[in-house]
Amino acid sequence: MRVLVTGATGFIGLNLLAALDETDHEPVAMVRPASTTARLPADIDRVEADLSDADSVTAALADVDSVVHLAAAVYDTASMGATNTAGTERIVDAAADAGIDRFVFLSTVGAHPEVPADADSTYQQSKVASEELLFGRNHPFEVAAVYPTYIFGPRDYRLTRYEHVRPVAANRVLVPPLYTDAKYNIVHVDDVVGTVVRCLDGDATGRQLVTGPNLTNEQVLKAIARHAPGNCRVVTVPYGAIRWGVKPAMDLLYRIGVSPVPGEGFLERGDFGTVRPELTERAPVDQRPWKAAIGETVEWYETVGIL
């Protein structure tokens, strides 16, 4: 089965291409003319197209049986409307005309109907906007959408998880304000691409959550410290101590010109994909441990020389 993969040069895309190599599916990488293609496997079929150009998308869909639509603007807020919402509509319409069998869409956990979306996240809202398009209409093909939480794994060429790993690797002792409070729900990228493959096989359809356990800052930072170079010791500090100790201290350092920023930012409490307890550890595949996801991310960073 020939599968058109959009976003093939991205984090999930490169991992999916590696996973498809073990299956009967024949991927065709859809790449924009300006994309870096050096990282694609050498023997992979590629077709140049751009989601903003309907004709190019139609041409790319000729002669494929399925589509995995991964391409999205994840960091560039200004292009999220055009790429993630309008671009998805364009490829869904073209896929209907092309007569494909299956359409697999990579969404995000916050766009799942059972998970409250973050109204301030343009990215989440751009994915929510595709819900009606995918599930509110009839299509001449099967639709599946995958809703992962916070993904770790190899081939993170954008270094999207480096901000969590470097402070651990670059300090022998990690203590606030070197980290701020946060909670996580972490999944292995293999679970995400495994779910996509199950959808392509017809073994899973409709909405598919891919969630891990909800994790504390301490669990995540200590797991990173176990794998990262440098033998970092993570010191856990209760939020109250950050509130009443670190923030005033940073405010003082800011006033005397040592810190470039005041203490307010250190009160942030990040939420990287947590879900309510009954939605944790869901996936239509045998899940890989979240610690392996962190370990393999760190190992990959070392392989490419960034750690």
Binding residues (CB under 8 A) for other proteins: these are 36, 38-39, 75, 157-160, 162-163, 166-167, 169-172, 178, 229-230, 258-260, 303-307
- Rg of the Cα trace of the chain? 21
Shortest distance, position 158 Cβ to other proteins, whole Å:
5
The C-alpha atoms of residue 263 and residue 75 are separated, in whole angstroms, by: 26
Lookup result for tokens 């994309």: 35
Unique residue bearing structure tokens 């200590």: 222
- In the complex with other proteins, the residue whose CB is nearer, 122 or 160, is 160
The pairing of strands 26-31 and 2-6 is parallel
Minimum CB distance to other proteins smaller for 252 or for 306: 306
CB 29 to other proteins: min, Å:
15
Which of 163, 278 has the CB closer to other proteins? 163
Of residues 9 and 130, the one with the C-beta less far from other proteins: 9
Task: Provide the minimum distance between the beta carbon of 38 and other proteins in the complex, in angstroms, as a whole number.
Answer: 5
In the complex, the smallest distance separating the C-beta of residue 76 from other proteins, rounded to whole angstroms, is 11
The residue among 202 and 229 lying less far from other proteins, judged by its C-beta, is 229
DSSP H/E element including 192: helix 189-201
Question: What are the structure tokens assigned to 186, written together?
Answer: 């972490």
Residue 247 is given by DSSP the state H
Cross-strand pairs, 26: 2
Residue that has been written with the tokens 């073209």 in this structure: 94
Task: Indicate the SS3 state at residue 280.
Answer: coil
Residue 55 C-beta: closest distance to other proteins, Å: 26
In contact, 149 and 290? CB cutoff 8 Å = no
**What's the closest the beta carbon of residue 301 comes to other proteins, in angstroms?**
10
62 versus 261: smaller Cβ distance to other proteins: 261
State the nearest-atom distance from the C-beta of 258 to other proteins, in Å: 7
Q: With respect to other proteins, which residue has the nearer C-beta, 122 or 280?
A: 122
- Minimum separation from the CB atom of position 36 to other proteins (A): 4
Q: Please, are residues 147 and 210 in contact by the beta-carbon 8 Å criterion?
A: yes
Consecutive H or E run containing 296: helix 290-303
- Nearer to other proteins by C-beta: 77 or 303? 303
Distance in angstroms (rounded) separating the CA atoms of residues 193 and 124: 20
**How far apart, in Å, are the Cα atoms of 164 and each of 18, 62, 170, 179?**
25, 42, 11, 9
Pairing mode of beta strands 214-216, 181-188:
antiparallel
Q: Which residues pair with 29 in a beta bridge?
A: 5, 46
